[in-house]
Amino acid sequence: MPLAYVLINTEIGAEEEVLKQLKQMPPVKEAYLVYGVYDIVAKVEAESMDKLKETVSWNIRRLEKVRSTLTMLVMSQG
């Protein structure tokens, strides 16, 4: 199963709201508020690469208060 970590920047003060929305998405297996350059890290897993792309492009990136994302596809799970 394709797996990716998505680093997310939100509008200021919207971190908790976006985190709550992410946790309601079935492909999002884990999501955490973090300190640093990004506000949230989400672990996303899907049954196919197309479903993974769809989740990131059409669900996560389209959340109203998400400003930017950086997606890191996992090459191998060891």
Question: Which positions ≥6 away from 48 have C-beta within 8 Å?
Answer: 2
Is the predicted pLDDT of residue 78 greater than 90, yes or no?
no
Q: Is the dihedral of CA 10, 14, 18, 20 positive or negative?
A: positive
Look up the pTM and report it: 0.95
Q: What is the per-residue pLDDT across 2-49, written as a single tens digit (0 to 9) for each?
A: 999 999 999 999 999 999 999 999 999 999 999 999 999 999 999 999
- The stretch 58-71 carries a mean pLDDT of 98
Instruction: Give me the domains of the chain, ranges plus CATH numbers.
Output: 3-37+46-73 (3.30.70.920)
- The stretch 47-59 carries a mean pLDDT of 97
Q: What is the pLDDT of residue 20?
A: 98
Of 14, 50, 7, 42, the closest CA to residue 26 belongs to: 42
